Amino acid sequence: MSHAVNALDHALRADPQGLAFLEQTASLYVLDNASTPGHPTTYGWWNFLNDALNEVERYESEGSASSLEGHVRLLATITCRVARRPPSSDRRLVKICFANASMTHMNLMANAQLSQSLVGSNAQLRERNMGRIAAIVFD
């Protein structure tokens, strides 16, 4: 089981850590400056949803997606809540993440375009994955 499906599985079993992880992921962004050195990215709900939907689609192609019905329902429920947040709130959360990370990584502050790039990437991810979850739920 991969990380996104595993986190959803823990939450479905009412595991406090699984529930806390989903709540935090839906509420804030973190800066990942380690996965690809020199190319920081943000990670928040839309990234998690993207990972989870990729996993669901992989399970579907293997013919074992029926065991993930509760997982998809939980994804849809949380996504509905997060999608009610206006895009301007998402932009603000990404900028806060970047500002917080800049306190420890001073070199980030020198790159004004990076903040805008991270905000733009997040907006694209939001739009693409809202459509993907809708297609899966209404299918």
Q: What is the mean pLDDT of residues 29-54?
A: 87
pLDDT digit string, tens, across residues 100-109? 887 776 666 5
pLDDT higher at 35 or 105: 35
What is the predicted pLDDT for the residue at 112? 73
User: Looking at residue 65, what DSSP letter applies?
Assistant: G
pLDDT digit string, tens, across residues 116-136? 888 899 999 999 998 888 888
User: Where are any strands of DSSP class E within 33-107?
Assistant: 41-43
Dist CA 73 CA 113 (whole Å): 37
Q: Model-level pTM greater than 0.75? A: yes
For the chain, the average pLDDT equals 86
